[in-house]
Amino acid sequence: MTEPDSVARWELAAATTSEDAPAPTADEQEVIQLFDELRNRLLRYLLAFGLPAHESEEVIQEVFLALFQHLRRGRSRENLRGWVFRVAHNLGLKRRLARAREVSSGTGEQEFLAAARADPAENPEEQLLSGQRLQRLQAVLRALPEQDQWCLSLRAEGLRYREIAEVLGMSLGSVSASLGRSLARFSRADEY
Amino acid sequence: MLPEDGHLSDQELVLAADGELTPRRDAQVRAHLTACWQCRTRLRGLEGAIGDFVHLHSATLDPRVPPAAGARAMLKAQLAEIASQAGTRRAWFLPARWPALAGFAAAVVALLGVYVAIPKSERAVPSPRLTPGAVRQVRKADVCAGSGQEGFVVPVSLQRRVFEEYGIRDAAPNTYEVDYLITPELGGAADIRNLWPQPYSATVWNAHVKDQLEDRLHQLVCDGQLDLATAQHDIATDWIAAYKKYFNSNRPRQN
């Protein structure tokens, strides 16, 4: 099927404007490269955190803009992956706290609850956890202390123990104890 | 250190599975595992638990991860803006770079000439450079709560800036609508990056048609059939493609 002229011209316009834009700086390129590498991992972590998708996206935008400023000021480039997760974790906590305050004060409570009920994307369990085993695993996860859940999520997103310790402000020993304890519970999930 | 019964702890087994032990301790643990069926069995159980968690993590979260393209474009635009404001662009004007730039400049001029030659009234989609889209921090509940139309009127001064940005000086009344790329009903911001002069007529894909799409997306979002972020992304990336997708039609419907 032939596309309308306007669409073909838009493609031309897009090519023009993208070339017309100034060359990105090295810092911009580095930020975009890290965004490409980490965006989905960060998004999953923030979703697991309890933030809805649109708020998680906003947090991620904030994180990478902060990273850009961090790089432009010539600050440390060591372990930027851990830096990005740490800032996302802290911003995510702030967002969640603000949301909790909103709900407890009654402001937006109805909207929040309505959204939670109506939006299937934000309530995936009913759709996705059809198998009994998956439901049992979900129950094990929910029974874990929140910090243990965060450790598992960060490890699942590929962070090493030292990085997890930095993100969550824990000792290395606490991270390994947390993961050992949580995985032992998962390995006994079928006994529950 | 081994527990008193001589077996490895869960913590040490997980450390070994994750390659987090020191080389010396790792060698001791491997030696123990070679000799101890019980610990090997427990290690397999813990490896299985890792697999279970990864499966759970992916099954619950992956379907909720929208495509990255819209967020990436938004980030790039914001970075470019910050960089240009701070004057941190590369020194492209240095003589050493002129030869390489000459060919590039010629290509840009040629393409730009063709673009400018396109009648303005036929530009059915905005320039992605001038209008990449911008959103407010809103939740689905906010966009579905009420009309709020009074806050969506674009001030005349901002409309004038949009026309200037697009090089339009002689727009007749009712020819264009200074339109939001991402409509405020979907969380679009009253920001010049989210506004462009959209022709009402002279193209198949005009402002009236886009209004249909906006109503459709709003309805889908508020009915819980579409994620708000996906709606914002799709309309910002290519609203004509979004129209075709959400109306399942390659041509606009009759008003």
Span B25-53, mean pLDDT?
A: 93
Give a yes or no: residue B209 inside a domain: yes
Residues A139 and A192: beta-carbon distance below 8 Å: yes
Question: CB–CB of B108 and A19 under 8 A?
Answer: yes
Which candidate from B10, B59, B65 shows the least CB-CB separation from A184?
Answer: B10
Query: For chain B, how many residues are written?
Result: 255
Contacting residues for A135 by C-beta, under 8 A, at least 6 apart:
A129
Whether B111 and chain A come into contact, CB under 8 Å, resolves to yes
pLDDT in tens, B71-95: 898 898 888 888 876 654 444 444 4
Which amino acid is residue B124, in one-letter code?
A: A
One domain for residues A121 and A150: no
Domain end, chosen from B36, B60, B84, is at B60
One domain for residues A61 and A118: yes
- Tell me how far apart the terminal alpha carbons of chain B are, to the nearest angstrom: 77
One domain for residues A154 and A135: yes
Span B11-24, mean pLDDT?
A: 93
One domain for residues A122 and A142: no
Question: C-alpha distances in angstroms, B146 versus A49, A117, B137, B228?
Answer: 29, 19, 16, 16
SS3 content of chain B, % helix, strand, coil (to 5): 60, 5, 35
Whether B71 and chain A come into contact, CB under 8 Å, resolves to yes
**Burial level of B102, CB count in 10 A (0-12/13-18/19+)?**
exposed
Span A163-178, mean pLDDT?
A: 94
Residue B119: pLDDT band with limits 50, 70, 90: very low
One domain for residues A87 and A73: yes
Residue B167: pLDDT band with limits 50, 70, 90: confident
The number of distinct structural domains making up chain B is 2
CA distance A154 to A167: 9
Span B219-226, mean pLDDT?
A: 88
Domain end, chosen from B60, B81, B100, is at B60
Average pLDDT score, chain B: 77
Give a yes or no: residue B105 inside a domain: no
Residues B198 and B176: beta-carbon distance below 8 Å: yes
Average pLDDT score, chain A: 79
Task: Report angle CA B145, B147, B150 to the nearest 5 degrees.
Answer: 135
Give a yes or no: residue A95 inside a domain: yes
Task: Report angle CA A144, A145, A147 to the nearest 5 degrees.
Answer: 120
Q: Which of residues 38-77 of A touch B (CB under 8 A)?
A: 39-40, 43-44, 47-48, 52-55, 57-58, 60-61, 64-65, 68-69, 72
One domain for residues B136 and B56: no
pLDDT in tens, A40-90: 999 999 999 889 888 899 999 999 999 999 998 888 888 899 999 999 999
Domain end, chosen from A127, A151, A167, is at A127
- Write the CATH number for A109: 1.10.1740
Give a yes or no: residue A58 inside a domain: yes
Which residues of chain B are within 8 Å of residue A134 when distances are taken between CB atoms?
A: 55-56, 59
Residue B255: pLDDT band with limits 50, 70, 90: low
| CA distance to partner chain A, nearest, from residue B120 (Å) | 11
The pair of three-digit structure tokens given for residue A78, joined into one six-digit string: 């060591």
One domain for residues B54 and B160: no
The pair of three-digit structure tokens given for residue B45, joined into one six-digit string: 């159980």
Give a yes or no: residue B150 inside a domain: yes
Q: Which domain holds residue B252?
A: 132-255
Q: Considering only A106-115, A138-147, A182-191, B6-15, which range has the smallest mean pLDDT?
A: A106-115
The number of C-beta contacts closer than 8 angstroms across A and B is 238
Give a yes or no: residue A4 inside a domain: no
Give a yes or no: residue A15 inside a domain: no
One domain for residues B145 and B39: no
Coil vs helix vs strand at A170: coil
One domain for residues A39 and A121: yes
- Other residues' Cβ atoms within 10 Å of the Cβ of residue B2: 13
Domain end, chosen from A94, A127, A160, is at A127
Whether B77 and chain A come into contact, CB under 8 Å, resolves to no
Query: Minimal CA–CA distance to B47: which of A192, A175, A184?
Result: A184
Q: Locate the DSSP E strands across B146-203.
A: 176-180, 195-199
Q: Which domain holds residue A157?
A: 129-192
One domain for residues B136 and B42: no
CA distance B240 to B209: 9
Structure confidence at residue B150 (pLDDT): 39
Query: Minimal CA–CA distance to B10: which of B38, B43, B50?
Result: B43
Give a yes or no: residue B100 inside a domain: no
Question: CB–CB of A61 and B123 under 8 A?
Answer: no
Residues B108 and A16: beta-carbon distance below 8 Å: yes
Report which DSSP code applies to B253: P
Residues B217 and B181: beta-carbon distance below 8 Å: no
CA distance B60 to A125: 7
One domain for residues B47 and B151: no
Span B124-133, mean pLDDT?
A: 82
Give a yes or no: residue B98 inside a domain: no
Query: For chain A, how many residues are written?
Result: 192
Report which DSSP code applies to B192: G
Helix (H) or strand (E) holding B196: strand B195-199
CA distance B206 to A139: 51
Give a yes or no: residue A3 inside a domain: no
Give a yes or no: residue B22 inside a domain: yes
pLDDT in tens, A13-45: 344 444 455 677 888 899 999 999 999 999 999
Give a yes or no: residue B81 inside a domain: no
Residue A104: pLDDT band with limits 50, 70, 90: low
One domain for residues A60 and A92: yes
- Write the CATH number for A186: 1.10.10.10
Structure confidence at residue B201 (pLDDT): 57
Domain end, chosen from A127, A147, A167, is at A127
Residues A66 and A85: beta-carbon distance below 8 Å: no
pLDDT in tens, B168-210: 766 665 566 778 888 888 888 888 888 888 776 556 777 778 8
Give a yes or no: residue B193 inside a domain: yes
